[in-house]
A = this chain, B = another copy of it.
Amino acid sequence: MNYKKPLILVTNDDGYQAKGIASLTEVMRDLGEVIIFAPDSPRSGMSSAISTSHPLRANLYRKEENLTAYICNGTPVDCVKLALNEFTDRKPDLLVSGINHGSNAGVSLIYSGTMGAAIEGSLFGIPSIGFSLCDFAPDADFSFTAEVARKLAAKVIEEGLPKGISLNVNVPAGEVKGIRIAAQTRGKWVNEYYRSKDGQDRDVFWVTGNFENWEEENDSCDEWAMSNGYAAVVPVQVDMTAYDIIPRLKEWRL
């Protein structure tokens, strides 16, 4: 093994067969030695979920010079944890997750398996980035996003990121004007279900919906960047404490 090359862990939430992870892997192979540890099938919307009721399995499916690839029956976070606990003999210099088919900007961050994996990597002290392209098509054109990934990955390997900090990178479909550092847009999904019937005429509910943006005019937010033709880079922290409200809660004298 060549210890001079950076070791790069690649994962995603769309599963190992998705076009997005193939594009990302191709670019990462130019930057270092790659280990892929990806879910065996799509795991969209898995957030930071871990499998607690069934055991994990990992199967080697590809081995070439500077590339080792496993598939795993777990969530994106399971993939990262299992890879780092049991399948790596040195700490990766970088973790990249994606390229996701669809946006993970705004509040979608908290449901995103792509970002679940990146957040997990940051806990291990590995600079970690999740990439998403705002295009759900299985054959979406990932070429521009892959170039953003190349540039950002090289920069992050050089500069590092503090432990517990990852990057959420979202790229709009179509022409892109540049890259903006941004904050997570406040908002929520609304009209979230499509009510339908099963074969026995019983109600079933399929997830759908649209994003209600509470900060449409705020040009420091990721949704603004995306709507205005920029790729958005949001630094994300593991610490979810709402420090500002602690003094108020202390006044409750519980």
Contacts and interface: CB of A to CB of B under 8 A. Distances in A.
A111 interface: yes
Contacts of A31: none
Interface in A31-46: 42, 44-46
Contact of A241 (B78, B161, B235, B252): B235
Contacts of A241: 183-184, 234-237
Contacts of A193: 56, 81-82, 85-86
A2 interface: no
A123 B209 CA distance: 15
Interface residues on A, range: 35 or more
Interface in A151-195: 151-152, 155, 159, 161-162, 164-165, 178-179, 181, 183-184, 186, 188-189, 191-193, 195
Contacts of A191: 85
A77 interface: yes
A111 B81 CA distance: 13
**For chain A, what secondary structure do more than half of its interface residues adopt (helix, strand, loop), or is it mixed?**
mixed
Interface stretch (A19-27, A137-145, A198-206): A198-206
Contact of A48 (B55, B110, B249): B110
Contacts of A243: 183
A5 interface: no
A194 to B, nearest CB: 9
A113 B241 CA distance: 17
A53 interface: yes
A85 B193 CA distance: 7
A119 interface: yes
A207 interface: yes
Contacts of A52: 42, 44-45, 207
A90 B17 CA distance: 44
A102 B55 CA distance: 20
A107 interface: yes
Given A193-B82, A193-B86, A152 B254 contact: yes
Contact of A45 (B49, B123, B124, B165): B49
Contacts of A47: 46-50, 77, 116
Nearest to A53: B42
A186 B237 CA distance: 11
Given A45-B49, A110-B119, A181-B246, 8 more contacts: A48-B48, A49-B75, A52-B207, A55-B196, A85-B191, A151-B254, A164-B186, A183-B241
